[in-house]
Amino acid sequence: MSDEFLLDWEDVSGRNDPRQRYRIYRLHSTDDSPFLLATVEDEKAVGVAICEMAREGQLQDAAVGILDTQGERGQRWLVNPYAPAPQVK
């Protein structure tokens, strides 16, 4: 295989790319693992992306997860998709 077609894992994964710091996931009750919906650069973009995806129906009947890839260890999940759903009384 030619070296011109080899990609570095860092380039493919988006690791250490500040434009992909926040990752937004959804988790349906039938899924085993969260599905990556979007990567964004900052907190403002997280809000915009979530609003747009909600309007498009991508978040219907699903838990949402927000991961800060550059956050402190143990605090990277800002919103955990595996957390129990809040109960409305």
Which pLDDT tens digit goes with each residue over 10-20?
A: 555 566 777 88
What's this model's pTM, rounded to 2 decimal places? 0.75
pLDDT of residue 74: 85
Side chain identity at residue 39, one-letter code: T
Give the torsion through C-alpha atoms of 74, 76, 82, 85, to 10 deg.
Answer: 110
Contacts of 38 (CB under 8 A, 6+ apart): 23, 24, 49, 53
pLDDT tens per residue, range 30-67: 878 889 999 999 999 999 999 999 999 999 989 999 99
Of residues 88 and 26, which shows the higher confidence score? Answer: 26
Kindly tell me if the per-residue pLDDT of 78 is higher than 80. Answer: yes
Kindly tell me if the per-residue pLDDT of 9 is higher than 70. Answer: no
